[in-house]
Each structure stands twice: as structure tokens, then as C-alpha cells.
Amino acid sequence: MLTQTAYATEQDVALPRALRDYGGQVRLRLSGPASAPLIVALGGISADRFVSDRDDGAPGWWPGLVGAGSAIDPARYRILGLDFAADPTGRRAPSTDEQADVLAAALDAVGAAQADAIVGASYGGMVALALAVRLPERVRKLVLISAPAAPHPASSAVREIQRRTVALGLAGGMGEEALSIARGLAMLTYRTPKEFAERFDGGSAEADTLATSDAGHYLRARGDAYRRVMTPERFLSLSASIDRHAVDPGQVSHPALVIGALTDQLVPAEQLRALAEALPDARLHLLDSLYGHDMFLKEAPRIGALIQPFLEQA
């Protein structure tokens, strides 16, 4: 089904037959002039197709990088946003190779033989790497932000604890509360201790063992907000998908821009240095940031200043 709004075109994408267990279809959103260069923008596991704008005209999830007047402006580029495929039961995790096949199906759906670039952050960058190896003819260049060739063991361990928490909550009929707790734990890896020290007081004066600290109120609020955009089952599927990711960057022949945060606890800087060194044609920018892994969201104009000239190069 295709729908047209004042801002963008939306379209259902049937999943390849081998991937029908992941819900049967996903939805894409296409903004910008039909004749403009096509940019695919993908983010973390909670990102969706609303990259540049929403149905009510509000900004999408990547303001400051994608949108009017930004580095990826829908007046200059044709921008493809895509919902990730996930198992609605939460029992199986798609590989990033399989997500690459879903992206290829989306490109087919909009009549594009090749994307001019994929701008992928976190999980989206992993999918971009997988597509570049699996279907190299479908993309011309890559922007990889805080996205490794394979997950760091410490990060996989944290995600496993999150998934065990959510699975325990589902078994006890408290899946959404468990998801909120798992999201709070994730925020501790997305951000930095320095940011927490600047924003919150430590400790608690309460005798109640379940009293909420200053920082804990923030983590609870972020966890509860996450329940509005993610189900426990979808979280299990996509979180585990991150840990299935593995590519050989030496097989990537595309020009690549690699960007990361020196303070990232989830994808440490040494992983991105190793990735850039293994890629045949890559430029690396590691930035100091208060926001760690979330730099790509919190400092989007800053990374946009690096991305814009890379996209504009022939």
C-alpha cells in the first residue's frame, strides 16, 4: 500500500520470502525530489522510517542532521527511512545480513538500483556494512557512525543482561516494566559518567531500599518513554540482532567516512580505529563528546559538518 502526505511518500515493503517470519512486511518513507541523489538514513534499533519528518510536519528522529537546512536536506536529497524487520514474538533475531536484504527490497520498491549513500549510525551502520559486503552494487558510499565490524564483548554482555531482564518480565506478566528497566540500563552505556556527574546528584538519603535517586528518576523517565516506541518482543529480536552482526571490513570496497566518539562506552574508539584501518578507502573522525554513543543524536549538526562535504564529493 502506498500513501502520500504533504511531506513524504510511504510504502509497504514485502519481506523476501525467507524472512517472512519477521512480520511479513516493513514500511518505508521517502522524502525529497525524485531526481535528487538517494540517501538512506538508518539509526539505532529504536529508529524508524520517520527520519526527516512526520505526518504532522514535525521533525523526524534525526533533527540537526536530516531536515530543512541540515546537512541532509530533503530539498537537495531524496531521503529513504525504513522500519527494521523484527520477530513480533521476540524469539528470533534477524542478522544484519538479513536486514541488508530488507533494505535491498526497499530500494527495489522505490525503483532505485543503487543508493548514493547510506548514512548509518549504531545498528544502522552495521546494516550498512552488511549491505556493502553482501550487495556491494546497491550503494556507492558509506557513512558509518559509532558502528563496528562486530560487537564488543562487554557491550554484548550488557545487552544479554538487558534481554534476560525483559524475558523475565515477560514470563511474569510485567514485560513493559522490564523493558523500562532494560532501557534505563542501556542509557548508562549510551551516555557518559561525566554527563551524569554534571546533571545529577549521587546517592540517596532515603532508608527505603527502592528509593529513586536523582539520576534514577531520569532513567525511569527514559525507560517509560521507550515503552511508547518499542515492545518487549521487538526489543528482544533487535537487541539480539546486534550481537549476530559480523562483517569482514576488508571486503568493503566503497569510500567510507567513519565517525565516532572518544567517550563511547558501547563502541569504543579502538574498534572504530580498527574498522577504518581495515576498510580499503576510509577516513576516520573521532570526536570528544559529553554524550558518548548518543553523540550522533545529541550533536547532529557537529557530525553533519563532517558528513556534508563527503556526500557532496563526486
Coil, helix or strand for 117?
strand
Report the C-alpha gap between 192 and 265 in whole angstroms: 8
Q: How far apart are alpha carbons 120 and 81 in whole angstroms?
A: 11
| 111 phi-psi bin (left φ>0, alpha ψ -120 to 50, beta other) | left
Instruction: Give catalytic residues, as residue numbers.
Output: 122, 264, 293
- How far is Cα 276 from Cα 35, in angstroms, rounded to an integer? 32
For residue 229, give Cα distances in angstroms to 61, 225, 277. 12, 8, 36
Burial class (CB in 10 A: 0-12, 13-18, 19+), 173: exposed
Encode 211-264 in three state secondary structure.
CCCHHHHHHHHHHHHHCCCCCHHHHHHHHHHHHHCCCCHHHCCCCEEEEEECCC
Separation of first and last alpha carbons in the chain: 35
- Determine the Cα–Cα distance for residues 116 and 195; give it in Å rounded to an integer: 36
The closest alpha carbon to 43, from 118, 107, 137, 116, belongs to 118
